[in-house]
Amino acid sequence: TAAEREGKSRYVVEKRYVRADGAIVWVRIDQGFIRDTRGEATSVVAVVEDITARKNAEDEVRRLAEVRERMAVEAAGMGVWDMDLRTGTLVWSDSHFHILGYEPTPDGHATPEMWRRLIDPTDLPTILEALATARSSGSLYTLAHRVRRADDGRTLWEYIAEPGSEV
């Protein structure tokens, strides 16, 4: 094994397996080597533990945290969005779509053009400069700018304060 070649005496990993019936089983493998007086591995001792219940509980905790966050954001009248700076892919929360006057997409995906066309043209150069600086330096940025809602054209102020770093 790689652990043996690297001279490690112990190797621990969590792995996901799919059983023949399609059920997912998570296991934790704790493997150790028994070495002779020269340090050569002569035997392997391994303990395999079923950690499926723990992984399912962790998934449920994550899911509930996401539900709580979504409820808090929506109750506060805020929207959340993420952008992959490498691909330009945007994902908006349902509330962000609604704030900007759009109907949410099933997968939450939006395009930079959907956002850009709503920005007041006099604010656009400042926004693009702030985003470019944040992207190149990894610094934080804060923006307040005007947007025109897509559905009724009303002008709103959008306030953005978040890290401008790649994910």
Per residue in 32-63, pLDDT (tens digit) is: 988 889 888 889 999 999 999 999 999 999 99
70-89 residue pLDDT tens: 888 788 888 888 877 778 78
In this prediction, residue 163 has a pLDDT band, given cuts at 50, 70 and 90, of very low
As a whole number of angstroms, the distance between CA 131 and CA 157 comes to 17
User: What is the model's pLDDT at position 84?
Assistant: 79
Q: Is the pLDDT of residue 165 over 60?
A: no
Listing DSSP states for 15-84 in one string gives EEEE-TTS-EEEEEEEEEEEE-TTS-EEEEEEEEEE-HHHHHHHHHHHHHHHHHHHHHHHHTT---EEE-
Eight-class DSSP state of 149: -
Q: Is the pLDDT of residue 1 over 80?
A: no
Contact predicate 162/140, CB 8 Å: yes
pLDDT over 70 percentage in the chain: 91
User: What is the model's pLDDT at position 70?
Assistant: 81
Q: Is the pLDDT of residue 157 over 80?
A: yes
User: What is the model's pLDDT at position 6?
Assistant: 59
